[in-house]
Structure 1
Amino acid sequence: MTRAQQVGVLIGLAIVAALTILRASDPQLLRQARDVTFDEYQRVAPRTFENLPVRVVDIDEASLLELGQWPWPRDRIATLVNRLSEMGASAIAFDILFAEPDRLSPRSVIRDVPGIDPELLGQLPDNDEIFAESIVGKPVVLGFGLSNEGNYRPPVKAGFAFTGEDPANAPPRMKAATPLRPQLEANAAGIGHISLNPGAASTVVRAVPLFLSDGKQLYPNLALEALRVAQGASTYVIAGATNVPDTMTHVKIGEFVIPVTASGELWLYVSLDNAERYVSARHVLAADGPSPETAAAIEGSIVFIGTSAAGLQDIRTTALGQNVPGVSIHAQTVEQVLSGRFLARPDWADGFEILSIAVAGSFLVLVTTFVSPAVALACGLLITSLALVASWLAFFYGGLLFDPLAPIVAGSITHFGATAFRFLVIDRERREVRRAFGHYLSPSLLYRIEHTKNALRLGGDDRELTVMFVDVRNFTQISERLTPAEVVGFLNTLLDALSHHVIANEGTLDKFIGDSIMAFWNAPVDVASHAEKAVHAALAMRETLVRLNANDAFGFGPEQKVGIGIGIHTGLACVGNMGAETRFNYSAVGDAVNIAARIESSCKEISFDILVSESTANLLPDWALLEAGALGLKGKSMRTRLFAVVGDQRLAATAEFAELQMVHGELIDALRSRSPASRRIVNTAKLKAAGLAAGLPEFYRRISRRSDHFLDEPTGRRDRSAG
């Protein structure tokens, strides 16, 4: 063995040791990669949907449309319980919080009416009492949520028996819970928590905590309680690891044994969302009674009551990448128990994977050093194939979760590290190889990488920017009528069309914030006439939106028009890479950004779609702008003068706009002096504005009622931060 080979082996084994230690520490990046790998396994072979006695009574959009908006009065919830009980539901579990009194109860509605007779008040029905009476003697399970305030703990309706060490500290901790109504709490057959992934870093629900703990008492989740109540069981039997405190291995409920993680979580093996799982609440509450099909679906089933309505925001993401109602996760938990199809990650899986990294990495180092990189590559590919096949077969046939990714990545790094050392130190063709690689990298890219070492540093520079915010009007009302997928499609269509104009006018797209766009001009490179280009982009957005509405691009029909508001401000901001050392974005912050955002919000008050600040207007001397008054923007001590953008220089040069501008000046003077003539001038302005911009008539109607916007100039100096 030559000295170079000895050094190569030592360096290779050091890499293997570092990778082994890294895997043993199990950083979040590796955990996320492992979770994604297991998600892909489920996507390839999801759990097959079986028509098991589990149903979701869905408070869907159709139910809200037919029976009224949420929340429903609790006498209707009581009717729902009675109907389900009459149809033979084995358990009725609510993925709904009943923490507050029913504000729709007749007694609550008129409680504060002056002069109401207390005796008469006591005779009025109370919906909470009706609901509480309806669940007496019925297999009803209520849900509770988590809270960071107070010290309320819900009662536990079941007993616990333990084998092995006490697992009271194994589950996730619960500080406090949302209080249930006392009558409901007392009459319920079961009470369970509805938290699906408390404290999880990911929004994907991959495992469900079957229990929470306050350090002394265990609290079962909603699905577990529903399964217990449906069987008439009274006790949970929890198995812990022998001689290992604060761990769980299995949970027994009635006839079912459930394998769990050490912290009492159930790995979810989900099926594709299926319409057969759901029964619309409106069918259960039908005036002429449930249909035979509905009764057949409910009879003998464990029923979960929840909502898929988009506006109620109980949508979760499964390992299959589907967005589903949160209540369906509870239903799938019970389905998985009834089907006996479980996933498990053995306690020794981590140790086995760490050992495989050490053994396979050391083997590859030796082969690369003493045989050849080509043979080592072949061995590495063989090891990779075996790891993938073994991991997949363990999942497919045994429901066991072994991570193939960490050994594969570690082996690849080890192989290429040892190979690189061989080429750099051992082989004489080192320089030839480097020259060969020179054909695949552009000199300019190499130069930038080598000479801009701090290009990705955190921090930024102060620059004059023109900042734009764009927001969709009435987005909440629009999204309430759409499914989550339709909301995404609507936003993609709109934001894609609008954002093209930012790029076309040399702007920088900072970010999409829900239904909003933030963009700026004059960074990262200088942009001449950046204020003009920003307003050009805004006018192009206006024209694009008119075209989209005319072509019914959103599928809302000709009656429903989508509107936007655009706020633009020019001022000093700090622009650069911002965030954490490991993850950051190129963005802008500062007062100029805040002002632009506030101006966009003011579009609603002024009732015009494009507004700019005075500092931006000063850079647009030849544009068709109209003064819109001085408004007090949120968070600003001084009022800010705003201008409505009617059009560009071409419109400003027309006789029609000149006439409107003259009348507008007269109107401003009349508003400042509170002259009665302002009403006549407003009507004249509306006539002159016809055909110039669609929103001008409403703009004049609005400002004519807010003469206070024009009484005085903004106190203090004007905002001329842009020069």
Structure 2
Amino acid sequence: MTRAQQVGVIIGLAIVAALTMLRASDPPLLRLARNLTFDEYQRIAPRAFENMPVRIVDIDEASLRELGQWPWPRDRIAALVNRLTEMGVSAIAFDILFAEPDRLSPRNIVREIDGVDPSLLGRLPDNDEIFAQSIVGRPVVLGFGLSNEGSYRPPVKAGFAFTGESLFAAPPHIEAATPLRPQLEENAAGLGHISLNPGAPSPVVRAVPLFLSDGEQLYPNLALEALRVAQGATTYVLAGAPDVQDTMTHAKIGDFVVPVTAAGELWLYVSPDRAERYVSARHVLAPGNPSPATKAAIEGSIVFVGTSAAGLQDIRTTALGQNVPGVSLHAQTVEQILSGRFLSRPDWADGLEILCIAAAGCLLVMLTTFVSPAVALACGLFITAMGLVASWLAFLYGGLLFDPLAPIVSGSITHFAATAFRFLVTDRERRAVRRAFGHYLSPSLLYRIEHNPDALRLGGDDRELTVMFVDVRNFTEISERLAPTAVVGFLNTLLDALSRHVIANEGTLDKFIGDSIMAFWNAPVDVADHPAKAVRAALAMRETLTRLNADDAFGFGGEQIVSIGVGIHTGIACVGNMGAEAHFNYSAVGDTVNVAARIEASCKDVLFDILVSEETAKALPGHALLEAGALALKGKSTRSRLFAVVGDEKVGASAEFAELRCLHLKLVDALRSRAPNRKILNAAKLKAAKLDGLADFYRRISRRADHFADHG
């Protein structure tokens, strides 16, 4: 690991730690984003509406037009109770506050008239008493609201039992309540609070508190009381988390067990608002017998009485984004309990999400630092997709709420921060390598040297190289016939086509010297089987040049055939960055380089285009090689055995070459003994005619044989 990578890892892990601590603190913005995600899940797959025995008697606009404006006199409310009881309701719950005396009561109206005989008041009906009498012995639940004034607490109509420690401190706190009319409070079968989201900063109702607490007593909400009264239950059984104080887990109401949050809240899993849920109050109060449809809807149902009239301002927003009457959410609470379709966010969900942020962040830091950004991005996208899928499936099949957004956002921040650091700092050295070597190395070699920056230090190393020189034959003659710009165009076309094969075979382009190319293999990094790859590049150059001539790529019109000579030698050379600190070139020097250059020059004497040294030939088993003789190279005191490269292993394994090689060996032995056999020579020439490039080679051998014949 380089120092830049170490710094990148440290900075990346610091970012992960900061994001993890941010999630652990759970600021409001993160909570809002999490809730919006859960809202979107419900919008994609809302709870299906089922025809449950739960109905809303709606004091709607039509009822107000027909029966008069709100508030209605309470004798009409009493009539509503009587009608509903006659239809066979299971329970009646009023999402209406009856806190003040009925101003429309005859007794109260007369009391306000000056000079009325006080004895008359006692003989006039009181609507509050009428309403109070109508609910005696009937399953009627009244609602109470919360107040910031006074210290009134409503009576509790049910008992509480706890499994484990007391849970009085778990629910939201109640300071005071709005007092109900005493006779109504006393006669009601149940009392429940009607607050849907007390103290919540968002207008969206996502969870409803099933209980409130003053520290000494628990107070159920309206929906829970309606369900209790409908079953005839007398006690709530509340379960707390083992070994965790003031943490609620379940509430049992009669036959139903409801999973709740630690504070005793129920996550609402809402269904779209449907007309089937509502019965207009005017239909219930219509003169005569109720219609069969109205009676069928009410019979056996838990009925919530409330209003959808816009002027009464009891409109709430659901997770589906719908604006619905508040009474609808009370009804949906009971529907959800009856259906058994619950949502829950486990106590360990926060810990799991924090762990995912830390683990995914660390993984992305390592991936971004040590593999390519594309691979890191692919892994990040895969992790993101898996997180989304896991969260969605947990919601869809288990009703579990896990936040995928915080880990995804944290992972994205970590990935892009680590990528930016890598681009600006860690990859700076690699970009310098690419600028220096991008035109001279194959992608595989370039990748390897990128990960070894020490290879760019000034100085050299002695190592075995295979060195190649390529030179254009008769270049002087060609250049004399062309304009300077045409010469440049010719060289660019030729050298570009030939040098590509050096790169393709993992070689290093050292330099272009006029019409020549110098290249070498096995530096700056190790290249396995480098002599064979150098020869493979030379053979590819031969094929490319044949095609270029055939296609008249140089524009000579067939008047000039371009040919090259290639010399290859394997040996020890000094290779490295040579020059000054501010400006240097990566190159190789030494006797091996000189020998390769001399071998290339010998191609003119041997009349063959590709020659290799004996050292290179030993590393080419199976290749089609023919001995070209022992030549005196310039600057060398001893002769060097050279070999002509006829073809690769495929040519070397052919029957034609096997016969030619056998004849060639006999011919070489005869020449060494200065007794050339003309018959063998002619046979070899015939075989050579079937292989490209050997005609001139054997013409030279023939001249040499003639020389020996003439001079003994």
Which residue in 2 is equivalent to 1:5?
5
Aligned to 1:344: 344
**Distance in 1 between residues matched to 2:285 and 2:8, nearest whole Å:** 75
**Alignment-derived partner of residue 530 in structure 1:** none
Is structure 2 residue 390 aligned with structure 1 residue 393? Answer: no
Counterpart of 2:207 in structure 1 is 207
Could you tell me which residue of structure 1 aligns to residue 219 of structure 2? 219
What does 1:114-193 correspond to in 2, within 5 Å?
114-193=114-193
Distance 1:429 1:145 in 2: 70
CA displacement 1:142-188 (0-9 Å, x = unmatched):
00000000000000000000001211011000000000000000000
Cα distance between partner residues in 1 of 2:80 and 2:430? 78
Q: Which amino acid aligns with 1:270?
A: V
Q: Return the letter of the residue paired with 1:135.
A: I
Structure 1 residue 189, shift from structure 2 partner: 0.1
Q: Which moved more, 1:298-307 or 1:284-293?
A: 284-293
**Matching residue of 2:41:** 41
Q: State the partner residue of 2:492.
A: none
Unaligned runs of 5+ in 2: 433-712
Conserved? CA contact 1:58–1:279, under 8 Å = yes
Q: Partner of 2:297 in structure 1?
A: 297
Distance 1:34 1:165 in 2: 31
* Aligned counterparts, 1:535-574, within 5 A: none
Q: Which residue identity lines up with residue 165 of structure 1 in the other structure?
A: E
Which amino acid letter does the alignment assign opposite residue 267 of structure 1?
A: W
Structure 1 partner of 2:229: 229
Task: Read off the aligned partner of 2:346 and give its amino acid letter.
Answer: P
| Alignment partner, residue 266 of structure 2 | 266
Shifted more, 394-403 versus 282-291: the winner is: 282-291
Contact 1:424 1:430 in 2 (8 A): no
What residue in structure 1 maps to residue 111 of structure 2? 111
TM-fit CA distance, 1:289? 3.2
Output one character per residue of 1:244-264: Cα deviation in whole Å (capped at 9) or x when no partner: 111100000110000000000
Q: Which residue of 1 aligns with 2:306?
A: 306
Q: In the alignment, which residue of structure 2 is the partner of 1:98? A: 98
What's the CA shift for 1:290?
1.6
Q: What SS does the aligned partner of 2:413 have?
A: helix
The residue type paired with residue 186 of structure 1 is: E
- Paired amino acid for 1:62: A
SS of residue in 2 equivalent to 1:185: helix
- Measured after TM superposition, the shift of residue 241 of structure 1 is 0.8
Going from structure 1 to structure 2, the CA distance change for 1:84 and 1:367 (only over 3 Å counts) comes to same
Give me the whole-angstrom Cα distance separating, in 1, the residues matched to 2:329 and 2:165: 30
Displacement of 1:116 in angstroms is 0.9
Amino acid at match of 2:88: G
1:243 maps onto 2:243 in alignment: yes
Q: How many angstroms does 1:243 deviate by?
A: 1.6
Verify: 1:280 aligned to 2:309, yes or no.
no
Cα distance in structure 2, aligned partners of 1:253 and 1:105: 37
Name the structure 1 match of 2:20. 20
Give the Cα–Cα distance (whole angstroms) in 2 for the partners of residues 209 and 402 of structure 1: 21
Contact 1:423 1:430 in 2 (8 A): no
What amino acid maps onto 2:7 in structure 1?
A: V
The RMSD of aligned alpha carbons is: 1.1
Deviations 1:218-238, CA, capped at 9 Å, x for gaps: 000000000000000000000
* Structure 1 Cα separation of the partners of residues 61 and 255 of structure 2: 37
Provide the C-alpha distance between the structure 2 equivalents of 1:253 and 1:158, rounded to a whole number of angstroms. 11
Cα deviations by residue, 1:337-358 (Å, 9 ceiling, x for unpaired)? 0000000011111111100110
How far 1:373 sits from its partner (Å)? 1.3
- Aligned residue for 1:30? 30
Alignment identity in percent?
83
Q: How many residues align?
A: 432
1:110, distance to aligned residue in structure 2 (A) = 1.3
Write the distance in 2 (CA, Å) between the matches of 1:219 and 1:171. Answer: 9
Question: Scaled by the length of structure 1, what TM-score is found?
Answer: 0.59
Return the alpha-carbon distance in structure 1 between the equivalents of residues 290 and 18 of structure 2. 65
1:607-618 alignment runs, 5 A limit:
none
Change (3 A) 1:363 1:66: same
For 1:187-220, what per-residue CA distance to the aligned partner results, in whole angstroms no more than 9, with x for missing partners?
0000000000000010000000000000110000
TM-fit CA distance, 1:287: 1.6
What is the correspondence of 1:448-463 to structure 2 with a 5 Å cutoff? none
| Aligned mates of 1:278, 1:420 — CA distance in 2 | 58
Decide whether aligned partners of structure 1 residues 17 and 65 sit closer, same or farther in structure 2, where only a CA change above 3 A counts.
same
1:97 is displaced (CA, Å) by 0.2
Other structure's SS at 2:48 match: coil
CA distance in 1 between counterparts of 2:419 and 2:335 reads 50
**SS of residue in 1 equivalent to 2:390:** helix
2:59 aligns with 59
Residue 10 of structure 2 aligns to which amino acid in structure 1? L
Asked whether the 8 Å contact 1:83–1:284 carries over to 2, the reply is: yes
CA–CA distance in 2 between the matches of 1:91 and 1:364?
Answer: 57
Question: Contact (CA 8 Å) 1:250, 1:258: kept in 2 or not?
Answer: yes
Q: Is the 8 A contact 1:423 1:429 kept in 2?
A: no
SS at match of 2:248: coil
Residue of structure 1 equivalent to 2:525: none
TM-score of the aligned structures, taking structure 2 as reference length? 0.60
One-letter amino acid matched to 1:328 = S
SS of the equivalent of 1:249 reads: strand
SS in structure 2 of the partner of residue 123 of structure 1: coil
- Structure 2 CA distance for aligned equivalents of residues 361 and 3 of structure 1: 21
Shift of 1:431: 10
- 1:320 corresponding residue in structure 2: 320
Distance in 2, matches of 1:430 and 1:31, equals: 42
Q: How does 1:423-502 map to 2 (within 5 A)?
A: 423-428=423-428
Matched, 1:329 2:329: yes
Deviations 1:565-590 (A, max 9, x none): xxxxxxxxxxxxxxxxxxxxxxxxxx
Q: Contact 1:391–1:403 at 8 Å: present in 2 too?
A: yes
2-structure distance, mates of 1:431, 1:29 = 40
SS at match of 1:197: coil
Q: Which residue pairs with 1:356 in the alignment?
A: 356
Farther-moved stretch of structure 1 (78-87 vs 371-380): 371-380
CA distance in 2, matches of 1:52, 1:27: 39
Residue 429 of structure 1 and its aligned partner are, at CA, apart by: 8.7
Determine the structure 1 residue equivalent to 2:403: 403
Q: Secondary structure at the match of 1:154?
A: coil
Question: What amino acid is the match of 2:206?
Answer: R
Q: CA deviation at 1:288?
A: 2.2
Contact conserved, 1:37 with 1:405, CA < 8 A, in 2? yes
Task: Give the superposition deviation at 1:430.
Answer: 11
Post-superposition Cα deviations, 1:624-659, rounded to whole Å, max 9, x if no partner, equal xxxxxxxxxxxxxxxxxxxxxxxxxxxxxxxxxxxx
After the TM superposition, which residues 682-693 of structure 1 pair with which residues of structure 2 at under 5 Å, given as runs? none
